[in-house]
Structure 1
């Protein structure tokens, strides 16, 4: 029987539908993994028109049918009442559709119908306007599936995680606590073990300029981050730091470390996007099933123009397929 990897189209007014159309027109074709698109058939039809493709699809009534061995991508319709077309704007209806789709996916995951999920870019403002009561998609999936989810990002051989994520910058210092830093280090270490890296080496970023310069520019490195690193090392994790944020990534690129644990969102994301904008992947770790997405947004400015590249979504599918085949130990 196939493993089932669900693929959703994200925000209907972003680039997601056209990216999904291109992916299923030339599917990756991993043996033993069925790629199943779930969503509004009219949105998929519109995405195919924008991309200029006519993919071959098996139309299924239920996700359970995707277990049958067949290399052709499948489609399970999930109609939603909202205008089709009109790309490039924030819509509460589109946000509501994303929330409803994720609820459907979560129910399928809980009943064992799917083994992994890749979702095309979504818009957090639209989700909030559509009824999401706070937090990002990691918080949403934690509520829907159980677990303690956190984002891990990847580009090529470089992995990053972060202690804080989608919060105002003014709140970051207060959220960088010993327990939060420890969780970030352990999550990254366990994840790398799960994807087959036998001896992960982690570089941990500082919070303040120059790693605090001995306390001159802040004491978080002395009082919070360094003790958490020491505790991780005492538990057997190969972690070093805190390194100044402006020099930690060159150490990783030189091959000394597998991953960087950053303190807040932009410490890691700016570096990854400079290395390859549009090609990075976000993994939501700590959940019962592997979940991944492209490391970029809805790109409303180019949505509907047929020029968006699918590199990031293709990489997300490849990573999630690898995790789905591995089936389990890599989500800690």
Structure 2
């Protein structure tokens, strides 16, 4: 019998909808049957969230299926303003994530799942990196290629560049980075259950540069990167104009698309599946998953937050956690 994946689950920003969503996911017996879950929260917090939602989250003393094990976090039970960005919220997020990373390093868990966070709160709480992916890489002392991977049902994307200004995008595209984004995407899709992924790569310029009339990045960097990936055995095609490739991907021709910058892929992905979107911190030695939406401060406590993205993030964390066992 395959061992169950061991998941470190954090509530994200306690001022947002994260506690509600984590509670809903963990009140489902089906979820607790397919993973060993370590929840970074106190018993009083779990009881409060469960009572508010009218559900039950089973809690046990030893790791195992059918219940969660609570992990002490220094900022549990602290009063945090609900429905608004706060330094306290950002501090709880960073502290919990540091503890979760420590659990991975010690071999206690196979994957990490965190609920939504607020980047401004993180920066106010002391995060100096441009985003959480770079922060994770620093804390893990990892200097390899990383990229956020975005999942909606049937399609996954990676990026050659991410959280940088548009004017900086072209100068950060090269053959090696393109190849690395392709390779990372290919491996992630395989680990999530697709044996032979079919990938496409976006162009940077309109009409894929029109043979150099609108830019030469496709000729000089993107196509050579695709060729490098093909030589290593990846099934990948392109570069294709980004205004049409997602139509083919939506129709099932491709399992994954490599984009050149953040919004080139995110706009398409959120139109196709905002209520099912999941982000994976790709390239790191530990699988780290989160729902793709934000903290949704405006609906905290109203009971209307949709659990779909958190449920899919949990499922993906389980799949990736299984494949990372024995790290």
CA distance in 1, matches of 2:5, 2:293: 26
Query: Which residue, 104, 110, 119 being the options, matches 1:109?
Result: 104
| Closer, same or farther: CA 140–219 of 1 in aligned 2, 3 Å | same
- Partner deviation per Cα, 1:267-289 (whole Å, 9 max, x = no partner): 11111111121211111222232
Gaps of 5+ in 1: none
d(CA) in 1 for partners of 2:266, 2:43: 33
CA distances 1:175-206 after superposition (whole Å, capped 9, x unpaired): 12222112101111222233343322210001
Q: Which runs of structure 1 show a deviation greater than 6 angstroms over 4 or more consecutive aligned residues?
A: none
SS of equivalent residue, structure 2 residue 71: strand
Distance of 1:55 and 1:188 partners within structure 2: 35
- Pairwise CA distance, 1:119: 0.5
Does the CA contact (< 8 Å) of 1:38 and 1:78 recur in 2?
Answer: yes
The answer to whether the 8 A contact 2:35-2:65 is kept is: no
1:8 is matched with: 10
Aligned residues of 2:199 and 2:258 also touching (Cα < 8 A): yes
Deviations 1:35-80 (A, max 9, x none): 221135555445334433342222x4xxxx42xx341223223141
Given that 1:206 and 1:263 are in contact with CA atoms closer than 8 Å, whether structure 2 keeps it comes out as: yes
Cα separation, 2, equivalents of 1:42 and 1:219: 59
CA contact (8 A) 2:44 2:77 kept: no
Q: In terms of mean alpha carbon deviation, does 247-256 or 145-154 score higher?
A: 145-154
Asked whether the 8 Å contact 1:294–1:316 carries over to 2, the reply is: yes
- Which region of structure 1 is more displaced relative to structure 2, 262-271 or 195-204? 195-204
**TM-aligned CA distance change 1:22 to 1:242, over 3 Å:** same
- Counterpart position of 1:143: 138
TM-score by length of 1: 0.90
Q: Confirm or deny: 8 A CA contact 2:58 2:66 kept in the other structure.
A: no
Q: Residue 82 of structure 1: CA displacement?
A: 7.8
**Partner of 2:313: helix, strand, or coil?**
helix
Task: Map residues 84-103 of structure 1 onto 2, 5 A cutoff.
Answer: 84=79, 86-103=81-98
Instruction: Please tell me whether the aligned partners of residues 153 and 273 of structure 2 are also in contact (alpha carbons under 8 angstroms).
Output: no
Match of 2:57 in 1: 55
CA distance in 2, matches of 1:145, 1:27: 33
1:133 aligns with 2:128: yes
Post-superposition offset of 1:217 = 2.0
C-alpha contact 2:80 2:88 (8 A) present in aligned 1: no
Q: How far apart, in 2, do the equivalents of 1:145 and 1:92 lie?
A: 24
Structure 1 contact 204–241 (Cα < 8 Å) conserved: yes
Within a 5 Å distance, the mapping from 1:61-80 to structure 2 comes to 65-66=62-63, 69-80=64-75
Counterpart-to-counterpart distance in 1, 2:274 and 2:122: 24
SS in 1 for 2:211: helix
CA separation of 1:291/1:298 partners in 2, compared to 1, >3 Å: closer, same or farther? same
Q: How do 1:156-195 and structure 2 match up within 5 A?
A: 156-195=153-192
Alpha-carbon displacement from aligned partner over 1:130-152 (angstroms, at most 9, x marks no partner):
00011212112212224333211
TM-score normalised by L of structure 2: 0.91
Task: Give the secondary structure class of the aligned counterpart of 1:7.
Answer: strand
How far 1:19 sits from its partner (Å)? 0.6
In the alignment, is residue 291 of structure 1 matched against residue 288 of structure 2? Answer: yes
Structure 2: tracts of 5 or more residues without a match = none
Aligned-partner Cα distance in 2 for 1:113–1:204 = 37
Identify which range, 141-150 or 304-313, moves more after superposition.
Answer: 141-150
